[in-house]
């Protein structure tokens, strides 16, 4: 059995742990911060772009972390445009409904 540790194997294990923490409900805040910090460090150690992309594609929580860590340089470069647009449209709809209910409430009162 090959037990050599590399930045990639450590990052994969931490990415899997982060996925479990996010799906598991209410993780301990300290544990969550530690996993996120360590995963961020391991992602930074991966030199091969193809390896990094494969890991991020397989682990959405790690991809979101990576995007957040590099937001200043690249913005939301890993977010799917469709998902981003859908979120923006939903937000606009909610804001419009809130404005209408506020306007209707002040007109009646």
- At 93 the pLDDT is 87
| Structural domain of 59 | 1-77
Q: What is the reported pTM?
A: 0.63
71 and 26 in a common domain: yes
* Residue written as token pair 């995963």: 39
Dihedral of alpha carbons 87, 34, 6, 12, sign: negative
Residues of the chain with pLDDT under 50: none
- At 16 the pLDDT is 96
Helix (H) or strand (E) holding 34: helix 29-45
97 and 72 in a common domain: no
Neighbouring C-alpha atoms within 13 Å toward the C-beta of 53:
5
62 and 13 in a common domain: yes
Query: What does the alpha-carbon distance between residue 50 and residue 105 come to, in Å, rounded to a whole number?
Result: 55
- At 32 the pLDDT is 92
Cβ atoms of 43 and 69 within 8 Å: the answer is yes
Number of domains the chain is built from: 2
């Amino acid at each position: 059995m090959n037990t050599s540790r590399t930045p990639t194997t450590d990052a994969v294990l931490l990415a899997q742990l982060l996925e479990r923490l996010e799906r598991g409900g209410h993780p301990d805040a300290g544990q969550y911060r530690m996993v996120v910090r360590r995963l961020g460090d391991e992602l930074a150690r991966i030199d091969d772009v193809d390896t990094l992309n494969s890991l991020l594609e397989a682990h959405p929580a790690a991809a979101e972390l990576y995007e957040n860590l590099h937001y200043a340089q690249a913005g939301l470069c890993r977010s799917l445009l469709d998902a981003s647009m859908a979120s923006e449209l939903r937000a606009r709809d909610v804001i419009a409904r809130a404005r209408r209910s506020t306007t209707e409430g002040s007109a009646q009162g």
